[in-house]
Amino acid sequence: MDAATLTYDTLRFEYEDFPETKEPVWILGRKYSVFTEKEEILLDVTSRLWFTYRKNFPAIGGTGPTSDTGWGCMLRCGQMIFAQALVCRHLGRDWRWIKGKRQMDNYFNVLNAFIDKKDSYYSIHQIAQMGVGEGKSIGQWYGPNTVAQVLKKLATFDTWSSLAVHIAMDNTVVMEEIRRLCQSNVPCAGAAACPALEPDVLYNGCPEDVGLRERLTLWKPLVLLIPLRLGLTEINEAYIETLKHCFMMPQSLGVIGGKPNSAHYFIGYVGEELIYLDPHTTQPAVEPGDSGCLPDESFHCQHPPCRMSIAELDPSIAVGFFCNTEADFNDWCQQIKKLSLVRGALPMFELVERQPSHFSNPDVLNLTPDSSDADRLERFFDSEDEDFEILSL
């Protein structure tokens, strides 16, 4: 069996509990103690939306795959990091999912945006078909950069969330670009993509009565995704402290990445281990029940999360942040600037006010590997994502 198609169904995987340690546990900007807050840790983890392989969903494109087992793990990780952005946008970071408790409508609106059917905004169907435009055939493996680019395109149709999605390439975050994007005082693209349906019908989790006023806010909530390569074939240990700090920021959406041929959604760390949600379990596709309500238990991981050594992380990742307001973004910028002063923490990316002049002149300071270098990087995620720079000391 190919390593990429192994699932925990077949491995009968046993989940370990959290280690008894004095080290703090960080989950998406929240700090916990294992000794006094274990239940709170597990509730926080369980409340994240967990997207796994599914089977028996409507064929992608009408005649394509009806399961994503073996190829969809990075697409599912992309869904998870983006779902966390929608949860922060519509429910707030402090929202919690409790089994059996009735949830608010906005929760189901978020969940519906990811259900495995062709007309959900961020469904496996939409991601796979939009990926064709990025050079990926349906059923082909994605890297973190590709899934980020696809999600950015799909977000333009989600007028309910009205997100500004920025993908920072070349390891550089340009503040001026982000402010221009988030302060653009125009209705978002695809505003007409929510057609009039019968009253009370949700389309992609998009309530019909989204007013123009809401789409004309002064700051569109920002989803910032930063694809990075933190070494050639393994992570350069000089980046580990910086990576940990990303999980400590209140704006953290986590990280998508993993091990060779096996993508994970990383939501935090404890000591020298990363904490992650794993999509490699195949579950049946979910259909709304007779009442029209969506059974949602299988979208929440109700066992202790998985852990792995940070040193085992493949160097190709994408880091995510959510800034709901301009003040959130300004605070994030200040934290990144302070992080550059931390001893032993090598910056993973550069934060600049304006576009550096060398961006417009490819002959100056061009650090991107040539194609022969890229050809040699045939490990895991996207050696095919040739937009990555190689970062090393």
Residues annotated as catalytic are 73, 278, 280
Phi, psi values for residue 263, rounded to 5°: -85, 145
How many angstroms separate the CA atoms of 272 and 60, rounded?
A: 40
How many angstroms separate the CA atoms of 11 and 94, rounded?
A: 34
Q: Are 279 and 76 in contact (CB under 8 A)?
A: yes
Helix then strand count (H, E) for the chain reads: 11, 13
Instruction: Report the candidate in 99, 52, 107 with the shortest Cα–Cα distance to residue 74.
Output: 52
Give the 3-state secondary structure of residue 283: strand
Give the other-Cβ count within 10 Å of 367's Cβ. Answer: 10
Residues in contact with 54: Cβ distance below 8 Å, sequence separation at least 6, in sequence order: 67, 68, 116, 124, 282, 283, 284, 285, 286
